[in-house]
Amino acid sequence: MRIRWLPRLLSSAMTLGLGTIAAPTLVACEGSQPPVALKVELRNEYVVLENGLRVVVNREPAWRTAVVDVRYRVGSREDPPGKEGLAHYVEHLMFRGTKDLPHGAFDDAIQETTGGRFNASTWADATEYHQHVDAAEVPAALFVEAQRLAYPFYELTEEEHLAERAVVENERRLNHSGSGEVVHAFVRESLYPPSHPYRRPTIGSAASIHSLTREDARAFAARYYRPENATLVVTGNVDVAATLDTIARYFAKIPRGTVAPPLRVPPVPGVLAADARTRVAVPSVASSALLVVWPLPPASVTDPAVLRGARGYLGAFAEDSLVREEKLCDGVDFDLDERELATELWMECSRPTDDAKVLAAIGGALGNAANGARLWPIGRIRSSRMVSLVENVMDPEARASELQRSLALTGRADTMQLQLRAMQVVTTDDVAAFVTTHLAGRPRVIVKMEGQR
């Protein structure tokens, strides 16, 4: 089980993609050329059971495997005050057994079905469980997930509760209490007001985790782990009709609950009053880095094609200028964290030689991008982004995650084709306007991570 982080010095990865690919033709320049021609034929069956469970089945005959993925619209933003970390703790308990699969049998069933290819993630907006299985094992994986939904941590004893809580406490000590967490805490506290749920850590604090009770977990699961608050995705080499029949047999009789609506808080507008700066000591010279974080509007109100075009421009500039030409960084990474209530653009310059020159160069690049006449044509970036979208749909777990993400943000499962169409027509002027509005000259969070010998 894991808490979701971004793919950089402090974290792990998230990918994009869905669909079945057909005959891509890429054009890497602009001007009189027509838009890039790239078609993705989607084969998704979308149904909603009477109990409110949303289901998407995507057949990909080129694979031998399949992924069964269940996402619940509940995350750390629903943690009650003083009980931070509860959503993540409940995720752990979801592997503690069910009515028909007691703890040991549950472990055996999921291990035999997946061969060890399973995991779960908790973050601010949702909690997700996935199993990567041989296609023939999909019915068994569906049975496990139906059990988890119908009978979460059935007859959990106080001893089991205390043992699992100790596991979470140890996870926090080992993975979320060093310099990386100090950095994340500073970024959260700089970007979000005290009352905002994105300000607090998903893992919780030592005190809040230790305060969690068995009754807290039961009440939380009863409130949010209900069919109408869940989305089930199956993608892989499956028979669609047979899979839907199996889903109906296992899930349709699970009753609706009285799910509390997700916590409603105002989106963060994506503006800081001034730069926020700090220095953080890290344990090794190799970890020295300069981090810059720009706040942006929520994913639901930002054109994703233009946003990723801007990110691609900055990434290309950083690689060409900061790394190859000026040699100001050993490497540069740009990542987007797109969430329901806010988006963050992170830049990491590893082992910078001169912080001031790095920041000045990035400022100059943003100034050039804001002036469309000085921004080089983005045909190369546009094509590269489209190729990345296509490459990522080849991975079953990435496709399942993107289907879930699409459903959460747009209510649709066919957004891959929409993303490709949008990316085909992104222009230099679009990127220039976005950079002018949201990035050039805007305050940001700056963190210097200083290596210690």
**Residues with active-site annotation:** 91
User: What CA–CA distance (Å, rounded) separates 47 from 297?
Assistant: 31
User: What CA–CA distance (Å, rounded) separates 63 from 141?
Assistant: 17
Contacts of 71 (CB under 8 A, 6+ apart): 126, 127, 128, 129, 230, 231, 233, 404, 407, 408
Q: Give which of 404, 389, 412, 423 is closest to 19, Cα–Cα.
A: 389
- Cite the beta strand spans of 259-305 per DSSP E: 276-282, 289-296
User: What CA–CA distance (Å, rounded) separates 196 from 192?
Assistant: 6
Pure H helices in 378-427:
379-392, 396-410, 415-424
User: What CA–CA distance (Å, rounded) separates 227 from 253?
Assistant: 10
The DSSP code sequence of 299-324 is: GGGS-HHHHHHHHHHHHHHIIIIIII
User: What CA–CA distance (Å, rounded) separates 362 from 413?
Assistant: 36
Q: Number of helices (H) and strands (E) in the chain: give both, helices first.
A: 14, 14
